[in-house]
């Protein structure tokens, strides 16, 4: 079963390329301290907005910091935020979705109402509300992405779990006297994993886009930390003098967001060939 | 025709029934923003230098000394009367500040929706007609990239190309109509990706239907099958996507207005967060989120009327 899913994923050329890109970017993020030619925070005011050279392959920014080094360290920050927040949203969202599907009735009705309200906010507005409450920081960016992705993940879980709890094996487990928690963890959750994993992968891309958008506006990761969106926030002013500094982080965001979306779709197709 | 009008009215009433609880939830969340902030809202509103008397006066003025449910009731009542409080930073009514800026935001979002619809529909149509040929692959790749490109970066790249390199269009500000071309193009092109993908998928589904096959079998030319049979039926889900994208466009204005220095509601909200001007943030979020919900409800109702299966 697992072998065939893997074979189906391997046959999907775009998904394989996307997965390769993600592995490479993750490796670059992890290895940034060894790969980066310079300290990403080292200011060199004698050498600002420098064009690409052997010492600075992507040039320098308005403070003379090496763009390539900031891009590599930025991968850590951007991917770190995305993975942390989607991980937290998964734990909360899957828990809530399972509970709603299991208890039905009032719990489910309340769940649907609350998720409807959260989904009614355009993504950036919800993030702005969160940042207003918690202040501008990397931590509140993570909370904002959690609040944004939670309703979608919870909904996907609920929908899948509603189908799963109707299965005979759940009825049988109930009849055999298994506890709710046991049934949910051992029987219902494994049956829902496919859509949840696929959705979470796609949402990692949305998380990168939202977090970098917030940082671009100055509401997310604060200077001098290298984050891809934050690197672009001075981009407009540097556009004429150092276009590469404004091009590179945007290319990075687009490629990573694109790869998550392609890989997520490929994962869905590979795990669930019917859908 | 009277039947269609009645249907629209019924469809709108049903949409209102679904929408009102969501609007109530939105106002509750927006109301709670101020109370969720760590610290005393009166002190924050008064500023750090204010003396205790000022803080007490502001607490009374804002009604912060009353129980929460009472405060929420009065928040909603006043909002319905068009009173969104006073901006801490400018001292002007928030409703006035929003009314001054909303036209820019609406113009960007609406024009962006038009660009998205025209571009997306044409792209999706092309891809569906040339299915599995290079045109299809090219269009599909472009739409995928469009969906994953951050709007503010697309804005910067358009600015770099058309303002700085080619010198064809102004970069920032609102001086002339030409100033709005790049912001609208940014918003429109980004959403066109989603509309294009949806158009292609829906058209391909519709083209598999029996009535399309019947029309073809009866010798109806391919172009006519597409225009008269397939496209009208594909419009329902496409309308729904455009309605959904309008929310993305409204939120997208936050980023695009910031890049192009357009004084709309989006930019206002960002400035308000930076200045910790809570009433302004609350007003902006409330107005834009409500707009989004209402637009969605209306497109939902319209999609219902457009759907021949509902109409029959």
* Count of other CB atoms within 10 angstroms of residue B99: 13
Q: How far is CA B128 from CA B56, B113, B198, B204, B234, in A?
A: 66, 21, 11, 6, 12
A229 and chain B: CB distance < 8 Å anywhere? yes
pLDDT-derived band at A214, boundaries 50, 70, 90:
very high
* pLDDT value at A245 more than 90: no
DSSP H helices, A48-104, are 67-103
CB contacts < 8 A (A, B)? 132
Residue A125 in contact with residue A210, Cβ under 8 Å? no
For residue B147, give every residue at least 6 positions away whose Cβ sits within 8 Å of its Cβ, in sequence order, or none.
A261, B190, B193, B194, B197
CATH number at residue B285: 1.10.3720.10
Task: Please compute the mean of the pLDDT values over residues A80-93 and round it to a whole number.
Answer: 96
Q: How far apart are CA B104 and CA A12, in angstroms?
A: 44
Residue A246 in contact with residue A232, Cβ under 8 Å? yes
For residue range A21-32, list pLDDT tens digits in order: 999 999 999 999
Residue A187 in tokens: 């029987």
Enumerate the β-bridge partners of residue A60: A66
By Cβ distance, the residue of A120, A253, A254 closest to B26 is A120
pLDDT-derived band at A273, boundaries 50, 70, 90:
low
Q: What percent of chain A has pLDDT over 90?
A: 55
* pLDDT value at A203 more than 70: yes
CA–chain centroid gap for B223, Å, is 34
A128 and chain B: CB distance < 8 Å anywhere? yes
- Which residues of A fall within a CB distance of 8 Å from B147? 261
Domain that holds residue B170: 2-310
* Count of other CB atoms within 10 angstroms of residue B211: 12
pLDDT at B261 (0 to 100) = 92
Angle, helix A243-271 to helix A13-30, in steps of 10 degrees: 130
Q: How far is CA A190 from CA A84, A160, A196, A273, B167, in A?
A: 22, 10, 10, 17, 57
DSSP H helices, B159-277, are 181-207, 210-217, 222-224, 231-260, 265-274
pLDDT at B35 (0 to 100) = 84
Residue B190 in tokens: 């980004």
For residue range A43-59, list pLDDT tens digits in order: 888 888 888 888 888 88
Could B29 and A129 be called an inter-chain contact, meaning their C-beta atoms sit closer than 8 Å? Answer: yes
Enumerate the β-bridge partners of residue B93: B86
Residue B250 in contact with residue B101, Cβ under 8 Å? no
pLDDT at B5 (0 to 100) = 76
Q: How far apart are CA B252 and CA B189, in angstroms?
A: 12
pTM score of the predicted model:
0.90
Place of tokens 């399972």: A98
pLDDT at B312 (0 to 100) = 42
Given a cut of 50, the residues of chain B with pLDDT beneath it are: 1, 312
Could B160 and A121 be called an inter-chain contact, meaning their C-beta atoms sit closer than 8 Å? Answer: no
A124 and chain B: CB distance < 8 Å anywhere? yes
Could B258 and A217 be called an inter-chain contact, meaning their C-beta atoms sit closer than 8 Å? Answer: yes
Could A250 and B156 be called an inter-chain contact, meaning their C-beta atoms sit closer than 8 Å? Answer: yes
pLDDT at B2 (0 to 100) = 54
Map out the domains of chain A with their CATH numbers: 2-33+60-271 (1.10.3720.10)
- Which residues of B fall within a CB distance of 8 Å from A261? 144, 147-148
Could A129 and B33 be called an inter-chain contact, meaning their C-beta atoms sit closer than 8 Å? Answer: yes
Q: How far is CA B205 from CA A271, B128, B200, B301, in A?
A: 23, 10, 9, 23
Place of tokens 């001075």: A234
In terms of phi and psi (left: phi > 0; alpha: psi -120 to 50; beta: otherwise), the region of A237 is alpha
Concatenated DSSP letters of A1-60? -HHHHHHHHHH-HHHHHHHHHHHHHHHHHHTHHHH-SS-TT---GGGTTPPP-SS-TT-B
* Count of other CB atoms within 10 angstroms of residue B252: 30
How near does any CA of chain A get to the CA of B9, in Å? 23
Angle, helix A243-271 to helix B151-158, in steps of 10 degrees: 140
Q: How far apart are CA A257 and CA A252, in angstroms?
A: 8
Task: Please compute the mean of the pLDDT values over residues A93-99 and round it to a whole number.
Answer: 94
For residue A104, give every residue at least 6 positions away whose Cβ sits within 8 Å of its Cβ, in sequence order, or none.
none
B247 and chain A: CB distance < 8 Å anywhere? yes
pLDDT at A275 (0 to 100) = 46
pLDDT-derived band at A164, boundaries 50, 70, 90:
confident
In terms of phi and psi (left: phi > 0; alpha: psi -120 to 50; beta: otherwise), the region of A49 is left
Residue B83 in tokens: 């009173």
Residue A232 in tokens: 């672009």
Q: First-to-last CA distance in chain B?
A: 13
Enumerate the β-bridge partners of residue A235: none
B75 and chain A: CB distance < 8 Å anywhere? no
pLDDT at A3 (0 to 100) = 67
Number of domains in chain B: 1
């Amino acid at each position: 079963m697992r072998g065939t899913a893997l074979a189906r994923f391997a046959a999907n050329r775009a998904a394989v390329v996307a997965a390769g890109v993600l592995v490479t970017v993750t490796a670059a993020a992890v290895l940034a301290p060894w790969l980066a030619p310079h300290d990403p925070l080292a200011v060199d005011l004698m050498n600002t907005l420098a064009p690409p050279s052997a010492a600075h392959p992507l040039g320098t920014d308005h403070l003379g910091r090496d763009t390539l080094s900031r891009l590599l360290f930025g991968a850590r920050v951007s991917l770190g935020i995305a993975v942390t927040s989607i991980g937290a949203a998964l734990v909360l969202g899957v828990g809530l979705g399972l509970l709603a599907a299991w208890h039905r009735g009032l719990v489910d009705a309340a769940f649907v109402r609350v998720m409807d309200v959260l989904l009614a906010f355009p993504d950036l507005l919800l993030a702005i509300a969160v940042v207003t409450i918690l202040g501008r920081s990397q931590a509140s960016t993570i909370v904002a992405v959690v609040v944004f992705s939670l309703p979608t993940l919870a909904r996907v879980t609920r929908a899948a779990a509603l189908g799963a709890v109707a299965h005979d094996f759940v009825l049988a487990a109930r009849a055999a006297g298994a506890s709710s928690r046991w049934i949910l963890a051992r029987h219902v959750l494994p049956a829902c994993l496919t859509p949840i994993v696929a959705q979470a992968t796609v949402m990692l891309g949305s998380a990168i886009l939202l977090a970098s958008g917030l940082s671009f506006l100055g509401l997310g990761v604060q200077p001098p930390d290298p984050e891809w969106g934050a690197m672009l926030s001075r981009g407009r002013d540097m556009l004429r003098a150092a276009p590469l500094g404004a091009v590179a982080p945007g290319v990075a965001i687009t490629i990573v967001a694109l790869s998550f979306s392609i890989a997520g779709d490929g994962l869905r197709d590979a795990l669930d060939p019917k859908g | 025709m009277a039947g269609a009008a009645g249907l629209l009215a019924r469809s709108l009433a049903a949409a209102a029934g679904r929408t009102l609880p969501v609007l109530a939830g939105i106002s509750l969340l927006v109301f709670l923003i101020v109370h969720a902030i760590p610290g005393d809202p009166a002190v924050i509103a008064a500023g750090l230098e204010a003396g205790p008397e000022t803080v007490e006066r502001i607490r009374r003025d804002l009604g912060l000394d009353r129980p929460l449910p009472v405060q929420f009731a009065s928040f909603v009542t006043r909002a319905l009367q068009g009173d969104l409080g006073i901006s801490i930073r400018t001292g002007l009514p928030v409703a006035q500040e929003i009314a001054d800026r909303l036209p820019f935001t609406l113009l960007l979002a609406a024009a962006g929706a038009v660009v998205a619809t025209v571009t997306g529909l044409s792209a999706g149509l092309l891809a569906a007609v040339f299915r599995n040929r290079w045109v299809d692959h090219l269009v599909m790749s472009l739409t995928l990239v469009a969906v994953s490109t951050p709007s503010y970066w697309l804005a910067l790249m358009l600015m770099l190309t058309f303002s700085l390199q080619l010198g064809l269009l102004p970069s920032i500000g609102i001086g002339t109509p030409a100033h709005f071309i790049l912001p609208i193009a940014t918003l429109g092109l980004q959403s066109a990706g989603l509309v294009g993908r949806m158009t292609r998928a829906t058209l391909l589904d519709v083209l598999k239907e029996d009535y399309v096959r019947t029309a073809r079998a009866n010798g109806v030319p391919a172009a006519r099958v597409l225009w008269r049979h397939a496209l009208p039926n594909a419009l329902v889900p496409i309308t729904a996507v455009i309605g959904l994208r309008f929310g993305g466009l409204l939120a997208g204005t936050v980023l695009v207005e910031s890049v192009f220095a357009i004084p709309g509601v989006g930019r206002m909200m960002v400035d308000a967060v930076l200045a910790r001007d809570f009433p302004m943030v609350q007003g902006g979020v409330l107005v834009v989120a409500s707009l989004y919900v209402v637009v969605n409800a209306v497109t939902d109702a319209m999609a219902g009327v457009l759907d021949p299966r509902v109409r029959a």
